[in-house]
Amino acid sequence: MTTKQTSKRRFEQLNRLTDAVLPSMPKGTVSHRLVLLLAFRSARPSGVFILTKTRLAKMTGLTPRRIRGIVKDLEAWKLIARHQEGDRGPIHAYRITYLTYTTEG
Separation CA 71–CA 75 (nearest Å): 6
Are the CB atoms for 59 and 34 separated by under 8 Å?
no
Separation CA 101–CA 78 (nearest Å): 17
31 belongs to a structural domain: yes
**Structural domain span for residue 36:** 3-96
Which pLDDT does position 1 carry in this prediction?
A: 59
61 belongs to a structural domain: yes
What is the CB-side half-sphere exposure of residue 10 using CA atoms within 13 A? 14
Which pLDDT does position 101 carry in this prediction?
A: 43
Which pLDDT does position 92 carry in this prediction?
A: 80
pTM above 0.75? yes
In one-letter notation, the amino acid at residue 33 is R
The domain total for the chain is 1
Q: What CATH number corresponds to the domain at position 15? A: 1.10.10.10
Are the CB atoms for 73 and 67 separated by under 8 Å?
no
Per-residue model confidence as pLDDT tens for the chain (105 residues): 578 888 888 888 888 888 888 888 876 588 999 999 999 998 887 788 888 889 999 999 999 999 999 999 999 988 999 887 655 565 688 988 876 443 333
Sign of the CA dihedral running 15, 19, 21, 27? positive
